[in-house]
Structure 1
């Protein structure tokens, strides 16, 4: 992990950690990130002070679950039970690195995947017009097999409504389609067995099949009433589902907007990440008056492929083509909304070239990020990254797919790589951590959906034979 203006060697990585605690280096640099988020993370994932003081034995090591159970029986905390932070401390020591178990294998590349908010459903979108919704609680039975409509190249994103009744999917097209997840039909072929309602996201593209316009990212608001989308016309769109109309278009960036999300449950703030190397913050309460971003977060040296909000309206992370994830606090954002990233001094195309070695140690002259995490690779496609779940880990980790066919997990505070999950044969474009259980599901261009768990079911990984694939996917 590095901070602005400094570079620090990360601790030795491991392939996984288990009941003995985090990786060897994790606790050695625990206090390195000197920021409020350290205290917030500790509050969510550190045991009660009485348990820490009485049971730790060695202050630099995590309190063992066995000692914590003894402490609970002895009522050392004075409350007779575990707090949510106690629970997170225990669960966060058992990372989902066992396995994997193959859930499904398709003939086309898996591009996007996500758990439902309660973990009962899992959605995976594939390149050849296919989306599958699995019922996790029913042994991963396919609950909905969706054949998409008006597909341009691939499914670029999916989003499940908070009430889990509707699924939207986007593509290289101005139309976002809506599927009724709760209908009785398992087979959902667009406008054949079921109607996939089309929502028009660009008044400037009147041709329903105009594939020059594409939506790379689409997300529901927390209340399920709105959608926010990022597109290749450098813009952000907001769609009001109740009014059934587009309510806002923001010419947001100077290049493709690859990722967007609402900052918190209020829906006032929107984060965006673009190929112009910038993350931006948009406050809808004052946008009409100012007509510009509330602030800019600069620090990446290449385009941004993915962003994820911590859900508190303050912190977010971004994945960049400069082969790094960055952690941001929007209170440090710049008011220079017209800022332009410094020009690149070398020719490079991330879709087909390795990242130049002489560029790996460069730093941004105006880096505003809190921390930088490196080890994974972001090439060929828009690799995604996320905060780990609040319920089970206290958002103590961040995790990402990688072009080298692995899933990487980093300690948020120390920057240590605490796990690398190896199984796939092609880039892992997306992955999702179960909101409650220690389980990560990875989705890869090899067409495989795989589940990593703790403690696992002792099944040996299914060997997936490498198949020759087109290497032109660009999104």
Structure 2
């Protein structure tokens, strides 16, 4: 039977290194007298210690988020139904159409009804078109006016499409990245749609004309060409570029790179005019704060931080602020364009919404090691262990979105556009083959099942298209990027897709009021090649060569 006290010899043993290790281990116990406690110390050796940080899904953020509900209710993200319109057993869409056609209410009510109708038209899983590529698709985006779409694939080609009629795409042209490494990592369209910049894991960005009659070779922009008076400490002339964005005036390109830096390149001068070695690891994502000013930059890194840079006060290379909350590296950053809200995707399997008014100052952020709460999760080869996850004690994000999988590659997230959705949602690709659409309160609004929509949409042949990279050659889908059309209820999802995800697709999903099929032509679910040509070989099981198809 245990005694209420410990002898002098016992105290000596406890003070020995092995004893101290037992005393302060997670099984050692809390302050409080009792049987088994060390006399005069209050340490109880039997009961679990109180105050240990909790782990796992029980520590996840509250859903729905109170902060997100407030954003939805105050009109910052979309419109809200008026109380008098909340009539049971009545379809809201039909009711709003009736209100509009009858001209009921003033201009304010009519405008609100129109916005409500647009934001409720969520694209669905049934695809209108599935565009097949012979290589993995890494990104694809509509232009700001919706008249243009481009997709980037691992065959170092960027394919451009005329989407001025968003329901009837036309193939435009293709451009190539010469001497690329591994894949095209990113692309960005100039504000006037005249030029497309695209990058690879090199310090060179290609700048190509979008004019279909212009067959000239792309201009090569060397981001390692540093202008005078730049900080060259730790600078390497060989680095890869993970992310690029045009400025709102089209004169500059910002890049996030593998040498832990942010670069700003002046297209007219043909040189980098600013290098910010501001992170402790790769900078996977960059963007400008808004289209009206090139002064504010955002950068997201594998060091788990999202940093804000103001170029008007960069004399000492100090960031304007830091967002802390992700526990693993960031994969993408998107700005709402209002100079206030920012969205990020992280390898901790979360997307987070941030408010510039809540960022930490550099002085406060420097008190903490950004990697102190990271496991350095290797997302390319492992599944994420939610049982071991802990919330970041300094998390300053507004809303956290969960459910998607950020694995294998730098999966992207976005704000939904104001034109077609009234900025109501955020959305992201996912390794599980879906596009997740969330309300701002972190509740799931919709899930577009690209895996189901594209499964077996090309034959299993004997060509190089059947290199089974993963999954033993089964059909797999990883949605790496998605783009919501600015004016129509359409989402284009670019994916690793096919047998073992060794090929790629761009699937076009529209709102169709829940119908699985229609009687119009062309039929939904049509399969085309990269140039939008119908090919019967995509519908049969005979062997076919990817080189012939694409």
Same fold (TM over 0.5): yes
Task: Output the aligned Cα RMSD.
Answer: 2.8
1:123 paired residue among 150, 160, 164: 150
Distance 1:78 1:203, change over 3 A: closer
CA drift of 1:405 comes to 1.5
Q: Which residue does the alignment assign to 1:471?
A: none
1:358 paired residue among 362, 387, 406: 387
Q: Which residue does the alignment assign to 2:258?
A: 232
1:365-380 equivalent positions in 2, closer than 5 A:
365-380=393-408
Q: Say if 2:324 is the partner of 1:298.
A: yes
Question: Do 2:305 and 2:329's aligned partners in 1 also have CA atoms closer than 8 Å?
Answer: yes
2:441 paired residue among 413, 420, 436: 413
Structure 2 gap segments, 5+ residues each: 1-57, 227-235, 455-475, 498-503, 528-537, 542-550
Q: Which residue does the alignment assign to 1:283?
A: 310
SS in structure 1 at match of 2:242: strand
CA drift of 1:407 comes to 1.1
Q: Say if 2:413 is the partner of 1:385.
A: yes
Distance 1:240 1:255, change over 3 A: same
1:217-296 equivalent positions in 2, closer than 5 A:
217-265=243-291, 266-288=293-315, 290-296=316-322
TM-score (normalizing by structure 1) = 0.82
Structure 1 gap segments, 5+ residues each: 11-28, 186-192, 205-209, 467-475
Q: Which has the higher contact order (CA 8 A, sep 6+)?
A: 1
Q: Deviations over 1:58-103 (max 9, x none)?
A: 5xx99813322333355443238731x4322111112001421334
Question: Do 2:130 and 2:507's aligned partners in 1 also have CA atoms closer than 8 Å?
Answer: yes
Question: Do 2:144 and 2:191's aligned partners in 1 also have CA atoms closer than 8 Å?
Answer: yes
Question: Do 1:441 and 1:452's aligned partners in 2 also have CA atoms closer than 8 Å?
Answer: yes
Q: Which residue does the alignment assign to 1:196?
A: 218
2:432 paired residue among 404, 411, 418: 404
Question: Do 2:304 and 2:371's aligned partners in 1 also have CA atoms closer than 8 Å?
Answer: no
Question: Do 2:495 and 2:506's aligned partners in 1 also have CA atoms closer than 8 Å?
Answer: yes
Residues in 2 aligned to 1:184 and 1:118: alpha-carbon distance in whole angstroms: 21
CA drift of 1:460 comes to 5.1
Q: Which has the larger radius of gyration?
A: 2
Residues in 2 aligned to 1:173 and 1:62: alpha-carbon distance in whole angstroms: 56
Q: Which residue does the alignment assign to 2:509?
A: 452
SS in structure 1 at match of 2:110: coil
Q: Which residue does the alignment assign to 2:132?
A: 105
The size of the alignment, in residue pairs, is 423
Distance 1:244 1:454, change over 3 A: same
Residues in 2 aligned to 1:394 and 1:218: alpha-carbon distance in whole angstroms: 26
Distance 1:239 1:74, change over 3 A: same
TM-score (normalizing by structure 2) = 0.71
CA drift of 1:132 comes to 0.3
Residues in 2 aligned to 1:392 and 1:354: alpha-carbon distance in whole angstroms: 35
CA drift of 1:108 comes to 0.7
CA drift of 1:9 comes to 6.0
Residues in 2 aligned to 1:54 and 1:36: alpha-carbon distance in whole angstroms: 21
Q: Which residue does the alignment assign to 1:114?
A: 141
